[in-house]
Amino acid sequence: MVVRPMRNPLSALLVFLLLTPFLPQTLPCAADPASDENAVNVPIERMVTRGRSNRTPYMAIVKPHAGGEVVSDVWVPLELLNDMNCGVKLSSAKDRFTARVPDAARALGVPELERFLPDGAIELEFPAKSRDMGFYFNMTGMERITGVNAALTDAKRKPVSPDAASMLVVGKIPLMEGISNEAPLSAKPAYIPSGGSPGSPFSLIWDHVISGNADLASENALPTVKVISPTWFALADEDGSVSNRGELSYSRAAHARGYRVWALVSNGFKRDRTKNFLAHVSRQKAFIARMLAYAQLYELDGINVDFENVGNDDAARLTSFVKRLADAARSAGLSVTIDIAVPSKWSAAYERARLGKIVDYVAVMTYDEHWGSSPRAGSVASIPWVRAGLERTLAEIPASKLLLGVPLYTREWEEQSAKGKNRVRSKTMTMASVDQRMEETGAEAEWLPGTGQNYFQYTSGDKLYRIWVEDERSIALRLELVKRHNLAGAAFWRKGFEKPELWDQIEKSMKP
């Protein structure tokens, strides 16, 4: 969740192009499911009558998860979907599957959809994975979409664990009675009440998903983290279509680790698309219906709204949209949060006082004081700037609903003087890459009390490189603000940018 302050539309475009790698893309990327180290291939048999199946010429790709405590991801080829007339089609761009679900409220078990679908039908998108010039669809949890069930079995069609499977049996649901190895639902973690618990702050961490999802089942639970927010969804067009990178196995693994899953949905940083979308209530309803459907399919606990680069003249429409989404989501048992920039004339699109009353929590993005294309080098989030932005936000939103945004990244700034001008460039760095740079250059860090960060610089040729460091000490200063102001907690951008040992400091800093 990187804030990008804008001066004008041209600079907005420039910054978007520079920072595209750190934004959820509008469309899911095709990727190779067999690239997972633990993926296995198994032949597919198709159930044709009760108790009788025929071998197909197709192979499934199975991605088991650590410990066997969650369902496996089972990818099947497009050709099998076509043979079984599943109604799932590959898009013309060959980067996603689409499915039209008639009578979606009944089929998906979401009565609330009736209010948002004039003809009862819904169109959804799903990730497409590519391999050997073929395309694969993840069948896991998609029975209500395809009308087909799938079970990993031994040679006698007895359900077994993925590592013991000799085939995948697929068939229309009525034919598959008694042949299912669906893992039991993971118990969902305790509900986090709106407003939090005074003195007991919690952490949210965003998990930036580019193509495939992480295997959370193979990871230890992160201290203080009660919510994980995978960047799965994005507004794909002005009509309210939603691109999707979700996986049911991820949600199951997250729940097994004690996390609630508040999946992020962005507007792709598209100002004009967002304006046209917000101008039509019918488009908003189509979007909300899709989010409710995905929440059901992926067993989500909440939705995290990340609409950035919204025109200030769209402020009232953005608030109305969030209100409409929040009302529908709560009726479906979902939490709703929103990510907002610190108050400034560039971020007047966020009606903070109104939004604070509508949503369960607000994550204030107290970072990118100096954004990626800034003409001047500087800290991503110096402590005085963070403190000032937080205090302005607190004037409009109750502390009990605020999550303080914490960057787990920094930037390396390259400065070069040429023809009397100072050219400035930057690139994003993780905590580990900063340590590596210090070791490579032999630079020594100096603590800057004015910014609340360590700092070092070095030269290479005629270029000066400058880095304001994020580490245990700077993060501890930010988390002191969480406790000092009795905030609901902290929100970290993003998972994987931190050093593992940082969590010891986070746990220590957030203890009541």
- In this prediction, residue 68 carries a pLDDT of 65
> Closest Cα partner for 264 from 226, 298, 288, 232?
232
CB neighbour burial string for 206-230, b if at least 16 within 10 angstroms, e if fewer: bbbbeebbbbbbeeeebebbbbbbb
CA 108 and chain centroid, separation: 23
Provide the residue type at 506 as one letter: I
- Average pLDDT of the segment spanning 70-74: 87
Long-range pairs for 61-64 at CB < 8 Å and ≥24 separation?
Answer: 61/33, 61/34, 61/129, 61/131, 61/136, 62/152, 62/162, 62/165, 62/168, 63/33, 63/36, 63/38, 63/39, 63/249, 64/38, 64/40, 64/161, 64/162, 64/163
- For residue range 84-136, list pLDDT tens digits in order: 999 999 999 999 999 999 999 999 999 999 999 999 999 999 999 998 889 99
State yes or no: pLDDT of 392 exceeds 90: yes
- Average pLDDT of the segment spanning 139-166: 92
CATH of 9-27+195-408+471-510 among 3.20.20.80, 3.40.190.10, 3.30.43.10, 3.40.50.2300: 3.20.20.80
- In this prediction, residue 25 carries a pLDDT of 34
If phi > 0 it is left, if psi is from -120 to 50 it is alpha, else beta; for residue 371 that is beta
The rounded mean pLDDT for the chain is: 91
Sheet of 463-469: strand order equals: 421-430, 409-418, 463-469, 453-460, 446-448
Domain residue spans of the chain: 9-27+195-408+471-510, 33-91+128-176
- In this prediction, residue 379 carries a pLDDT of 98
- In this prediction, residue 7 carries a pLDDT of 36
CA 319 and chain centroid, separation: 22
- For residue range 237-273, list pLDDT tens digits in order: 999 999 999 999 999 999 999 999 999 999 999 999 9
- In this prediction, residue 12 carries a pLDDT of 40
pTM of whole model > 0.95? Answer: no
- Average pLDDT of the segment spanning 411-432: 95
- In this prediction, residue 194 carries a pLDDT of 86
